[in-house]
Amino acid sequence: MTSFADEARIAFDNLADRTSDLINPTVRLGVTGLSRAGKTVFISALVHNLLHGGRLPLFSPAAGDRIARTYLEEQPDDAVPRFQYEDHIARLLDERDWPNSTRAISELRLTIEYESASGWSRLFSRGKLSIDIVDYPGEWLLDLPLIDKSFATFSAESIERARLPGRRQIAGEFLAALDAVDPAAPMDEPTAQRLSRAFSAYLTAARSDNTALSTLPPGRFLMPGDLEGSPALTFAPIPAAKDGSYPKSSLGAVLERRYEAYKTVVVKPFFRDHFARLDRQILLVDALQAINAGPEAVRDLEIALADILRCFRPGRSSWLSSLLSRRIDRILVAATKADHLHRESHRRLEAVVRRLVDGAVKRADFSGAETQVIAMAAIRATREARIEDRGEDLPVIVGVPQAGERIGEETFDGRRETAIFPGDLPKDPGVLFTDADGKAERADPIRFVRFRPPRLERTDEGLTLSLPHIRLDRALEFLVGDRLK
């Protein structure tokens, strides 16, 4: 995936990191997931619970009362935007609204001072660990396989996907624009822009709630940032040249050059400067949205997650090899929004996500990385209850749906607390997936809405309690618990 020069720079950066670790032990934690999986919420909740002594009974340093102090520090990478923790927390607590989705890479350093679990170690000095949390869009990971793909391969795969039955309608404008161009014709900038806009519109539509498709590279087309309108983001897949190559200065030749520029300007720097320096990784998965969109969306999510996990560098490194290269030795796959279901369905949600990532996780295990799958809600927006309906005892969740959310004919106002029976996930997750013939049993839809963040309780002394969660402590224990012993 990388050139010799890239690997040399990666080795140099890792050597610098390891040298710094001798003075200040650090673990670099990557947080990713496809759009709306809950990355910003996860980081905000993690930091808030550690800073404010949250309820973390399964996080051994907290359960053993061994955490002496937790605080934020200056991050080590001055060229990377800081994760705006304070702004996100203010929005969650004061406005009871969810923060905006991750649109670009950001970083935050959280430092924990702790007492060792070993009596011998406590005789010397207090332990200290810095956690460098690196937040980045999962869509960017989908770009990493492009490094090894030619423009012809990328084009063939993209056009084939666009013509699939479930995509053909939303890709109609792009496919029509594609049929109207001659890749061998002289380059014409308005034509290139028109084709690129149609392709971007198709990718955006495919990501909507109704379709919830996931395999949508190039990722920066969905979140261009400061590269919007640049030549590196003004291309689209086109049919392969009949004789193997496009004429010089033709539309096809220019689009191919821009595709290669995209890999050079966007994809390789992300891999080299950020992704290749991670020690631990959490991958957040919103499976409920895909389940409600139907079997094709579930299958598409499965492919996207396999592509993402394939990009990781899992495994264990020896002390000597770790000086020059990093391996991700722990990967946590977390099914988010577990608070949208009653706890009786949490095991089934874990089973669905385990099925989604089964093949890729087995490959990671084989290379020495530890993996785990859990159902989690970094911030719990609901509580559980039971109601009687027509003589039947139903498990329900209770919360305040966001204004404008709907179930059937009912539209919520954002103020009224409501009890909702979300439905049950199937016992066999296999019924959610398409088989070889593209057929599957469509599961009963999960009736879920987006709830407002909870109103935090206060103690008699007026202290605000930490954000409630589901299994955030288990996530912390798996990701960093071993580094705080």
Contact 333, 357 (CB under 8 A): yes
Say what the pTM is: 0.85
> What are 331-382's pLDDT values in tens digits?
999 999 999 999 989 999 999 999 999 877 777 666 778 899 999 999 999 9
> What distance in Å separates the CA atoms of residue 204 and residue 43, rounded to the nearest whole number?
26
| 416 part of a folded domain | no
The separation between CA 338 and the C-alpha centre of its own chain, rounded to angstroms, equals 16
- 365: domain CATH number? 3.40.50.300
Mean pLDDT score of the chain, rounded to an integer? 85
Contact 39, 469 (CB under 8 A): no
Domain of 63 in residue numbering reads as 4-136+274-379+471-484
Does residue 243 form part of some domain? yes
Check whether 18 has a pLDDT greater than 50. yes
Backbone angles phi, psi at 440, to 5 degrees: -160, 155
Q: 254 and 293: one domain?
A: no
- One domain for residues 174 and 153: yes
> Do 57 and 115 fall into the same domain?
yes
For residues 237 and 282, state if they share a domain: no
Residue where a domain terminates, one of 250, 267, 284 = 267
Do 260 and 287 sit in the same domain of this protein? no
pLDDT given at position 436: 44
The pLDDT tens digits for 47-96 are: 999 999 888 999 999 999 999 999 999 998 888 999 999 999 999 998 99
Domain closes at, from 267, 294, 326? 267
462: in domain: no
Whether 129 and 64 share a structural domain: yes
Is residue 342 domain-shared with residue 477, that is, in the same domain?
yes
Q: Are residues 155 and 296 in the same domain?
A: no
Same domain, 51 and 102: yes
pLDDT at 277: 83
Answer yes or no: is 215 within a domain.
Answer: yes
Q: Is 160 in the same domain as 24?
A: no
Structural domain includes residue 457: no
Give the confidence band of 321 by pLDDT, cuts at 50, 70, 90: very low
Residue-wise pLDDT for 136-154, tens only, equals 887 787 888 888 899 999 9
Which of 223, 251, 267 finishes a domain?
Answer: 267
Do residues 279 and 260 share a domain? no
User: pLDDT tens-digit profile of 209-252?
Assistant: 666 677 778 988 888 877 888 999 999 999 988 887 899 999 99
Q: Would 417 be classed as within a structural domain?
A: no
Q: How confident is the model at residue 190 (pLDDT cuts 50, 70, 90)?
A: very high
Residue 349 resides in a domain: yes
Residues 195 and 67 reside in one and the same domain: no
Assess if residue 455 is contained within a domain: no
**Segments in 147-278 forming alpha helices (H):** 151-162, 172-179, 189-206, 251-262, 268-273
Q: How many domains does the chain have?
A: 2
